[in-house]
A and B are shown apart, each in its own frame.
Chain A
Amino acid sequence: MAASATFSYQTPTARGYYGEFGGAFVPEMLFPNVEELRTQYEDILASASFRAEFEQLLRDYVGRPTPLFEARRLSEKYGTRVFLKREDLCHTGAHKINNTVGQILLAQRLGKTRIIAETGAGQHGVATATVCALMGLPCVVYMGAVDIERQAPNVARMRLLGAEVRPATSGSQTLKDATNEAIRDWIANPVDTHYIIGSVVGPHPYPDLVARLQSVISEEIRKQLLEKTGSELPDYVVACVGGGSNAAGAFYHFLDEPSVRLVAVEAAGHGIHSGHSAATSVLGTPGIIHGSRTLLMQDADGQITEPYSLSAGLDYPGIGPLHAWLGASGRARFIAITDDEALRGVAECSRLEGIIPALETAHALAALGQLGAGPDDVVVVNLSGRGDKDLDTYLKNMDKLV
């Protein structure tokens, strides 16, 4: 890495700060849980036994390394060289499983016997239920009651995998409230339970832990680009951001490479200023959400407001503290893509490359035209998930897709 010895975007401070963002703003009831994790995660992740088992499962169970595919027809259309990092080919259909495999191994080493998780669209819930089945651990997934209605196939998957799906009936009954309920469960079960957070959000050390587990994405991209282009470094890395876990993984090994332009793509919903948006980097202000100081969408009284996006994986009212810092420091550029633009991204990737992307991922694809990339530039888009889970939405919007 080209990072200087004194500063790295990769590494938060000992107390979990990226610039002014991060920290661990948790009630005393959670302090011992978070402290246990904080004092042990680095040693466990660095241990030979963890590394060996993590690498073996990523290879034999998840199906890594995922391919880096040169998308010739998208390249032709945008007049630049586009590569797709195929996280959609991971077991369970998205990058989420990289994190859950790592965290279940961590939970075992911490002696935990019960797993809880939150989920929005259900992808992280499915990825958590999957690894719990694999390891034989009981699993409770909190999901907003509204999302349970909207995402019936993923609810069925989780139940088939043996997980208990508990509806979060408080507040807006979506991802934010599911996260609250998971945290409340952890408060009530401080000794035997590990909470597998699904994104680079929450109190320190979660943002760093999840970023490290997802960093396998950029580790592979570097090796694959060297083979395909003769250079480990692309000119652009593009990824969608809800909480920001796939972006954190795709950016990680490029964070301290200033020549690589990092592009984070948020959901503008009906439009950034329409009142129905999830573009946190524009609409958010600093505050505390789920134990982290970061940018979040809130009213003048500091009450957390409900974001909107057609994609259930991007409608989180905050972003991870790493991303808040990448935006504030100018290290990453943020672009916001509307629902309709994302749907056009779905259609384009399906028709030009024969790959039906997840609606979240399509936000990143839809940003290709806004990068300003030239014919000699290498652009890597993190294809974070496949579109099967979104078929209902695609059917309802077929007029915009065909």
Chain B
Amino acid sequence: MNRIQTAFAHKQNLLNIYFTAGYPALADTLPLARALVAAGADMLEIGMPFSDPLADGPVIQHSSTVALANGMNIKTLFGQLAPLRQALPDTPVLLMGYLNPVLQFGVENFCREAAAAGVDGLILPDLPVAEYEEEYAETFRRHGLRPVFLVTPQTSEARIRHLDRISEAFLYLVSGPGITGNTGPADTTVQDDYFRRIEAMSLKTPRLVGFGIADQSSFRRACRHADGAIIGSALIKALAGAPDAPAAAAAFVAGIKS
């Protein structure tokens, strides 16, 4: 069992926290990760900043721009991940990012170094499932890296069943139409219908809800229909301008989990 599967086997209502590597400062990766986990985050999703993050809203776009200006890149991040893994031996760590920087690093090199640094899974939203299966699945598998696939309200049942079959991590339920950082819908009926439809499919793969989860009430609502949720933009907002970023991160998580 990998760290991701172990976490789902032993915990309920998992809180997966996203933060952008290199934001607010280049060396914040390890102190932020420690503070988040100490405060109750069950899983970490670390963003590899990209110049053109198509699925992200203004908050994560801005954090990516700052991180790149701070000098963050994949090589630097891998250097920070090895001590992170030593400090947090049991926490599942996923890398989230866009395909182009990974291609330039070299997929084989990327997977080898990510695995050596203790990474458990990858979320690459613009890597199409068909391309993944044909070109990259073997490499990912050889290095023990689990891809996470996204499901949206428009994803067909047949496609969800296929993603369920090939998943060894969790399915990322995108809460509704839109990019990251949107607030949830005023009327939650449609969203609840979507979550219930997926619940009724009895999938083997655990599910985390993401996009638009910002506070304790949206987290709890997501947990009613899934195994937990992912929070990103709301945390990044809490870090912006905070005098002590790790302390702000810890306070944010405590506010969700209390």
Contacts and interface: CB of A to CB of B under 8 A. Distances in A.
B152 to A, nearest CB: 5
A188 B178 contact: yes
A167 interface: no
A376 interface: no
A108 interface: no
Interface stretch (A132-140, A179-187, A233-241, A354-362): A179-187
B127 A25 contact: yes
Interface in A156-204: 170-171, 176-177, 180, 183-184, 187-191
Contacts of B178: 187-188
13 contacts: A23-B128, A25-B131, A32-B154, A170-B61, A177-B52, A187-B55, A190-B154, A191-B177, A289-B52, A301-B74, A302-B101, A302-B104, A304-B51
A302 B155 contact: no
Contacts of A170: 58, 61, 65
Contacts of A399: none
Contact of A287 (B100, B125, B128): B100
A144 to B, nearest CB: 13
B103 interface: yes
A27 interface: yes
Contacts of A27: 54-55, 125-126, 150
Contacts of B82: none
A29 interface: yes
B179 A188 contact: yes
Contacts of B156: 32
Which interface residue of B51, B61, B104, B155 has the most chain A CB atoms within 10 A?
B51
Contacts of A177: 52
Instruction: Say which size band chain B's interface belongs to.
Output: 35 or more
Contacts, number: 110
B218 interface: no
B116 to A, nearest CB: 19
A69 interface: no
A14 B188 CA distance: 39
Interface residues of A, number: 36
Contacts of B122: none
A27 B130 CA distance: 12
Contacts of A298: 100, 104
Contacts of A190: 152, 154, 177
A63 B50 CA distance: 44
Interface string A285-298: 11111110000001
A57 to B, nearest CB: 31
Interface of A: 15, 23-29, 31-32, 170-171, 176-177, 180, 183-184, 187-191, 285-291, 298, 300-305
A305 B51 CA distance: 8
B64 to A, nearest CB: 10
A170 B56 CA distance: 11
B24 to A, nearest CB: 18
A304 B179 contact: no
B210 to A, nearest CB: 11
A32 B151 CA distance: 11
B177 A188 contact: yes
B62 to A, nearest CB: 8
Contacts of B19: none
A360 B179 CA distance: 34
Interface string B52-81: 101101100100010010000110000000
B7 interface: no
Contacts of A304: 51-52, 100
Nearest to A301: B73
Interface string B97-130: 0111111110000000000000000000111101
B174 interface: yes
A289 B51 CA distance: 11
